[in-house]
Chain A
Amino acid sequence: MTDGPNKIIKNITKGFAKHGYICSEQIATAVYLASELEKPILIEGPPGVGKTELANTAALYFKKEMIRLQCYEGLDESKALYEWRYGKQLLYTQILKEQMQEVLEGAKGLKESLDRLMKFEDIFFSEDFLETRPLLEALTSEKGSVLLIDEVDKSDEEFEALLLEILSEFQISIPELGVRKADVKPLVVLTSNNSREIGDALKRRCLHLYIPFPDAKLERQIVQARVPDISESMQIQLVNFVQGIRELDLKKLPAISETIDWAKTVILLNSEELDAKLAEDTLNVLLKHQQDIEVVKKEIPALVSSATETSDGKSLN
């Protein structure tokens, strides 16, 4: 080991920032541990805080191939692991039929033909006819890969059980071919929106990272990285406003992705200053429920004034 863990973590933070992902120390530590221990990370948190993006950035940072598996109800092994190429297999048996004529020519009796048949090489179930799906692909990838299993909570319990072998041993058993083990262990990232409780067995095998909504400082950095065109005062005001909204009791709180969308909207509209009218007109970018919009509308004047006030204070410093 050449570098201390703190240095590596700093490097990860810097490297991620280069790819436009500003991460907290907690996130960087998790990435470091995942690559150090070769264990999967399970990421939880409200939607839109950058769970999926983390995997994308990790792939860029480690310069590895990104393989993504989107989970949904009814996802099964033929879509996640592997499937046989039935069409090709059918054609193969057709060819085999013709070949068989030659092989069996001159054989006397049933026993002899059977012996010859047994000696004949059989590739019906072999790699050639194996159609790899994301999970198998990630294991067999020669340079290693980043495997993103997105929204595990959407999949069925059975699928979760299927993941256990892959996540702890990094291997898949294919009944016809035997066990396939990964040469280079992939970096596995699982995300969950907590629509159902993930089983304990799965949790035990993973590192667990919870990404909350960012604090104002971090969010400002993120907006700066993602929407570099925005003026500094505007950016501070936007972030303060969003942070204010998160204090309210809403159905769905605006996440980072919404803040970024909003910042882009504001730039499109060429606005220089955040005021009540602008906020009201563009509120639907931030909030996705009519009820929420109505709640926030009442609060807009207060939110705007406090957002601009604090930003003035900041800029004076």
Chain B
Amino acid sequence: MEKVLTDFVKALRNSNVRVSPAETIDAVSVIDSVGYEDKELLKRTLSIVLSKTPDEKVKFNACFDDFFSDEIKQQVSVDMDQLSDIKDVDSDLAKKLLEGSQGELMLSIADAAEEAEIREIRYFTQRSVFTRRILEKMGVGKLEDELMQLGSSREDELPSDLEQELRNQLTNLRERVSDYVQQQFLLHGDVSGEQLREQIFKSMNMAQIDRSYLNEVHSLVRKMAKKLANLHSRRKKNFKKGKLDIRKTIRDNWVNQGILFNLSWAYKKVDRPKIYVICDVSGSVGAYARFMLMFLFSLTEVVSKLRAFVFSSNLGEVTNDFKDAQLDEAIEKALQKHGGGSTDYGQALTDFVSLCLDEIDKKTTVVILGDARNNFGPEKAHLMKSINERAKQVFWLNPEGKYRWDTGDSVMTTYSAYCTKVFQCGNIDQLERVISTLLKTAI
């Protein structure tokens, strides 16, 4: 019986529920005491042992229902004794359907599935193919031919009992095979497919990701952001020594007969960092800004003081839009309001400086996303210099490949002189790396 459980655990892992070997062992010992008989009880029990977040519980329930669905279905069947013409059927499958027991039938499904190489099933879409293949291996073709004959040979309008029964059994068989395939798919399928998809999205240039995939990419970004947040929310002991804590010192030094030997300090907590993001949302870079903002605003757990500005020529703040509305809406709104138009970095910097240069201090990280293509306008690099002098660090993310920097109207070098670090940031993988660096250094 342990095989059933390990298969189930495998199916769970395939549907993205993380189950450790230790938990599997727990599950085995749990089953020892509750048994397999009561399905509801088994479900409740395993849910407690194997799934450990509300999200996983939902997946667990779906997976469990799928996996243990092969209950023997009640059939509408004609009394066998009345089928005196039972010997008249020719095909093996028909005989098996009419005479064989449930167990035998299951066994022959499994055999046929083995022959059809069900283990190779990988993708959701292959299920119907495999169902058909298994049915064929079982000899459904012959049975269908026979049914046709029965149908055409009958004289009156009503189908005979035998024909009716065969048709019922066939429908039943189809359902059963498709259930079986579904179960096998849970065991063998999908994971590699999904991972492949994610891999492609991650390494694809962000501007080229089709809009129809946005939802999927969004959930991918959220997943990555969650991972990063988990990593960085392990709040390091970011304390700074402050005043002498007399009460604690006296208490701690009871051990030393009251001689103040070990001094204790009242620690001062360092504030959470401030991050200011300035995004170019003009035509060429708008797509990148979308993902950048998506990523950052999925990180609110870790970066609490985040302000976002977007510009193409004039600069505007969009922080509140993101806080109140849904992420997708907010991004659309920001792109619509400020996007398009020709880029003017000089103007944008002027706006930013007049808007919040005073608020930038030594805890602030300024992140600028843009291709630095300034349409040959005034660069106003001295503004970058003053930002750089006040801020803790200034990052510039450029979505263009490095070989294109400084070509045409790009003035990357002029600006990069005043940046702490410059990154190329064209796909989601790179974006993740940059944001990880950002979190590491900003905190």
A175 to B137, CA, bound (A): 69
Q: How far is the CB of B298 from chain A (nearest CB, A)?
A: 14
Residue contact B257 to A30, C-beta cutoff 8 Å: no
Given A33-B48, A157-B234, A197-B230, is A204 in contact with B23 using a C-beta cutoff of 8 Å? yes
Residue contact A87 to B254, C-beta cutoff 8 Å: yes
Is the C-beta of A61 less than 8 angstroms from some C-beta in chain B?
no
Is the C-beta of A185 less than 8 angstroms from some C-beta in chain B?
no
Residue contact B41 to A6, C-beta cutoff 8 Å: yes
A39-67, CB < 8 A from B: 39, 41-42, 44
A86 to B20, CA, bound (A): 44
A37 to B46, CA, bound (A): 13
Which of B26, B51, B57, B230 contacts A39 (CB under 8 A)?
A: B26
**Residue of A with least CB distance to B58:** A210
A204 to B41, CA, bound (A): 21
A189-214, CB < 8 A from B: 196-197, 200, 203-204, 206-210, 212
Main secondary structure of the interface of A (DSSP, over half): helix
Given A90-B254, A90-B257, is A9 in contact with B51 using a C-beta cutoff of 8 Å? no
Residue contact B254 to A33, C-beta cutoff 8 Å: no
Given A6-B41, A90-B257, A196-B233, is A207 in contact with B49 using a C-beta cutoff of 8 Å? yes
Given A90-B257, A208-B51, is A33 in contact with B57 using a C-beta cutoff of 8 Å? no
Which of B30, B49, B54, B257 contacts A210 (CB under 8 A)?
A: B54
Which of B22, B48, B51, B233 contacts A30 (CB under 8 A)?
A: B48
Q: How far is the CB of B247 from chain A (nearest CB, A)?
A: 14
Q: How far is the CB of B48 from chain A (nearest CB, A)?
A: 5
Is the C-beta of B33 less than 8 angstroms from some C-beta in chain A?
yes
Residue contact B230 to A37, C-beta cutoff 8 Å: no
**Residue of A with least CB distance to B257:** A90
Is the C-beta of A26 less than 8 angstroms from some C-beta in chain B?
yes
**A-chain residues with CB within 8 Å of residue B29 when the two chains form the complex:** 37
A208 to B46, CA, bound (A): 10
Residue contact B44 to A26, C-beta cutoff 8 Å: yes
A203 to B33, CA, bound (A): 22
B21-36, CB < 8 A from A: 22-23, 26, 29-30, 33-35
**B-chain residues with CB within 8 Å of residue A26 when the two chains form the complex:** 44, 47-48
Q: How far is the CB of B8 from chain A (nearest CB, A)?
A: 17
Q: How far is the CB of A272 from chain B (nearest CB, A)?
A: 39
A5 to B45, CA, bound (A): 11
Residue contact A37 to B30, C-beta cutoff 8 Å: yes
Is the C-beta of A132 less than 8 angstroms from some C-beta in chain B?
no
Given A5-B33, A5-B41, is A203 in contact with B52 using a C-beta cutoff of 8 Å? yes
Given A25-B44, A37-B29, A210-B54, is A93 in contact with B254 using a C-beta cutoff of 8 Å? no
Residue contact A204 to B48, C-beta cutoff 8 Å: no
**B-chain residues with CB within 8 Å of residue A44 when the two chains form the complex:** 53-54
**B-chain residues with CB within 8 Å of residue A9 when the two chains form the complex:** 41
A100 to B14, CA, bound (A): 71
A7 to B26, CA, bound (A): 22
A30 to B54, CA, bound (A): 15
Residue contact A29 to B45, C-beta cutoff 8 Å: yes
Residue contact B41 to A210, C-beta cutoff 8 Å: no
Is the C-beta of A36 less than 8 angstroms from some C-beta in chain B?
yes
Is the C-beta of B38 less than 8 angstroms from some C-beta in chain A?
yes
Is the C-beta of B78 less than 8 angstroms from some C-beta in chain A?
no
**A-chain residues with CB within 8 Å of residue B35 when the two chains form the complex:** 5
A33 to B26, CA, bound (A): 11
B49-74, CB < 8 A from A: 49, 51-54, 57
Q: How far is the CB of B342 from chain A (nearest CB, A)?
A: 40
**A-chain residues with CB within 8 Å of residue B26 when the two chains form the complex:** 37, 39
Given A39-B26, A90-B254, A90-B257, is A208 in contact with B34 using a C-beta cutoff of 8 Å? no
Is the C-beta of B255 less than 8 angstroms from some C-beta in chain A?
yes
Residue contact A36 to B33, C-beta cutoff 8 Å: yes
**B-chain residues with CB within 8 Å of residue A210 when the two chains form the complex:** 53-54, 57
Q: How far is the CB of A5 from chain B (nearest CB, A)?
A: 5
Contact with A along B249-271 (1 / 0, CB 8 A): 00000110110000000000000
Which of A5, A89, A208 contacts B52 (CB under 8 A)?
A: A208
Given A39-B26, A86-B254, is A208 in contact with B48 using a C-beta cutoff of 8 Å? yes
The CB with the most chain A CB atoms within 10 A, among B20, B26, B233, is that of: B26
**Residue of A with least CB distance to B254:** A86
**B-chain residues with CB within 8 Å of residue A208 when the two chains form the complex:** 48-49, 51-53
Given A6-B38, A6-B41, A90-B257, is A207 in contact with B48 using a C-beta cutoff of 8 Å? yes
Q: How far is the CB of B127 from chain A (nearest CB, A)?
A: 31
A173-232, CB < 8 A from B: 196-197, 200, 203-204, 206-210, 212
**B-chain residues with CB within 8 Å of residue A37 when the two chains form the complex:** 26, 29-30
Residue contact A204 to B20, C-beta cutoff 8 Å: yes
A93 to B255, CA, bound (A): 11
Q: How far is the CB of B257 from chain A (nearest CB, A)?
A: 6
Which of A5, A30, A200, A204 contacts B34 (CB under 8 A)?
A: A5
**Residue of B with least CB distance to A157:** B234
A1-35, CB < 8 A from B: 1, 5-6, 9, 25-26, 29-30, 33
Q: How far is the CB of B28 from chain A (nearest CB, A)?
A: 11
A30 to B34, CA, bound (A): 12
Given A5-B33, A39-B26, A93-B257, is A29 in contact with B41 using a C-beta cutoff of 8 Å? yes
**Residue of B with least CB distance to A42:** B52
A14 to B40, CA, bound (A): 19
Residue contact A209 to B48, C-beta cutoff 8 Å: yes
Q: How far is the CB of A149 from chain B (nearest CB, A)?
A: 17
A85 to B51, CA, bound (A): 43
Q: How far is the CB of B95 from chain A (nearest CB, A)?
A: 42
Q: How far is the CB of B426 from chain A (nearest CB, A)?
A: 31
Contact with B along A221-262 (1 / 0, CB 8 A): 000000000000000000000000000000000000000000
A-B contact pairs, 9 of them (CB 8 A): A25-B44, A26-B48, A37-B30, A44-B53, A44-B54, A197-B233, A203-B52, A208-B48, A209-B48
> Which B residues lie at the A interface, using CB under 8 A?
18, 20, 22-23, 26, 29-30, 33-35, 38, 40-41, 44-45, 47-49, 51-54, 57, 230, 233-235, 254-255, 257-258
The 10 closest A-B pairs by CB, nearest first: A86-B254, A208-B52, A29-B44, A5-B34, A203-B52, A207-B48, A210-B54, A30-B48, A26-B44, A204-B20
> Which A residues lie at the B interface, using CB under 8 A?
1, 5-6, 9, 25-26, 29-30, 33, 36-37, 39, 41-42, 44, 84, 86-87, 89-90, 93, 157, 196-197, 200, 203-204, 206-210, 212
